Amino acid sequence: MLIRPARFDDIEDIHSLLTYYANQGALLPRSRESLTAHLSQLAVAYAGGIIGGVAALHRLDSQVGEVRSLAVAPHLHKKGIGQKLVLYAVSQAELLGYQKVIAFTRQVSFFERCGFQPVARETVPVKYFLDCAGCPMLTHCDEIAMERALLIPLPEQNRVEYPASLTK
Ligand SMILES: CC(C)(COP(=O)(O)OP(=O)(O)OC[C@H]1O[C@@H](n2cnc3c(N)ncnc32)[C@H](O)[C@@H]1OP(=O)(O)O)[C@@H](O)C(=O)NCCC(=O)NCCS
């Protein structure tokens, strides 16, 4: 399967896939409106006209991205598609200059194979303030915080120097 950025005409299939798992309590539900508004964060696994999987790289702050809305169609499990989607999100995060990617998940061994490691929740306070604090599961959340550190930021000498007239 090809991993590629999501397009507007994928929204219906993405929504169906995420709703399938949201109904089982495996994922948080996403509305079509939310998916459309955050289309640029989404990647899909695609082959032969079928959307087999989806993942989102969500911006928590300028340094931290989060893999969320990760799902692979049930009949396509255990073929490496989930790992490819996560590694695609990680490569996008590197391009965007994030210092780390996090995931809050019950799929610990799966994320470990994707290069993540469990961390204390307190090490990602931005997640707590943006999402957890208002979540009804706050006091009995069974998700594990995991992170993958990314490459060192671009050295100063490689930065583009813009003419002063462009930076005013
Ligand atoms: C979690 C999820 C995305 C994984 O998707 P996937 O495509 O099955 O993932 P992969 O195929 O990359 O890896 C899954 C397992 O298959 C195994 N696998 C990968 N390729 C394989 C192959 N060719 N043959 C046999 N096994 C294989 C992996 O070793 C892995 O094993 P593990 O779970 O014991 O570590 C999928 O199970 C899913 O959609 N779950 C429901 C939603 C969900 O829980 N999302 C995560 C929320 S954070």
Centre of ligand 1 to C-alpha 77, Å, is 6
Q: Say if residue 136's pLDDT is above 90.
A: no
Q: Kindly list the distances between the CA atom of residue 154 and the CA atoms of 93, 115, 162, 164, in Å, as whole numbers in the listed order.
A: 13, 21, 16, 21
- Compute the distance between CA of residue 156 and CA of residue 3 in angstroms, rounded to an integer: 32
Question: Is the C-beta atom of 72 inside 6 A of ligand 1?
Answer: yes
pLDDT at 4: 97
Q: Kindly list the distances between the CA atom of residue 163 and the CA atoms of 157, 158, 159, 160, in Å, as whole numbers in the listed order.
A: 16, 16, 13, 10
Which among 3, 18, 84, 110 is the best mutation to test ligand 1's pocket, defined by most ligand atoms within 8 Å of the CB? 110
Which protein residue has the closest C-alpha to ligand 1 atom 6?
Answer: 82
Which protein residue has the closest C-alpha to ligand 1 atom 10?
Answer: 80
Determine the atom of ligand 1 nearest the C-alpha atom of 143.
48
- Nearest Cα to 16, choosing from 50, 41, 63? 50
pLDDT 10s digits, 23-67: 998 998 999 999 999 999 999 999 888 999 999 999 999 999 999
- Strand 42-47, strand 100-105: pairing: unpaired
Q: Is the dihedral of CA 73, 77, 81, 87 positive or negative?
A: positive
Given pLDDT bands bounded at 50, 70 and 90, which one contains residue 129?
confident
Given pLDDT bands bounded at 50, 70 and 90, which one contains residue 21?
very high
CATH H superfamily, domain 2-152: Gcn5-related N-acetyltransferase (GNAT) (3.40.630.30)
Given pLDDT bands bounded at 50, 70 and 90, which one contains residue 86?
very high
Centre of ligand 1 to C-alpha 160, Å, is 40
State the average pLDDT for the chain.
91
Which protein residue has the closest C-alpha to ligand 1 atom 27?
Answer: 78
- Compute the distance between CA of residue 123 and CA of residue 128 in angstroms, rounded to an integer: 10
Determine the atom of ligand 1 nearest the C-alpha atom of 103.
48
Given pLDDT bands bounded at 50, 70 and 90, which one contains residue 137?
confident
Given pLDDT bands bounded at 50, 70 and 90, which one contains residue 125?
confident
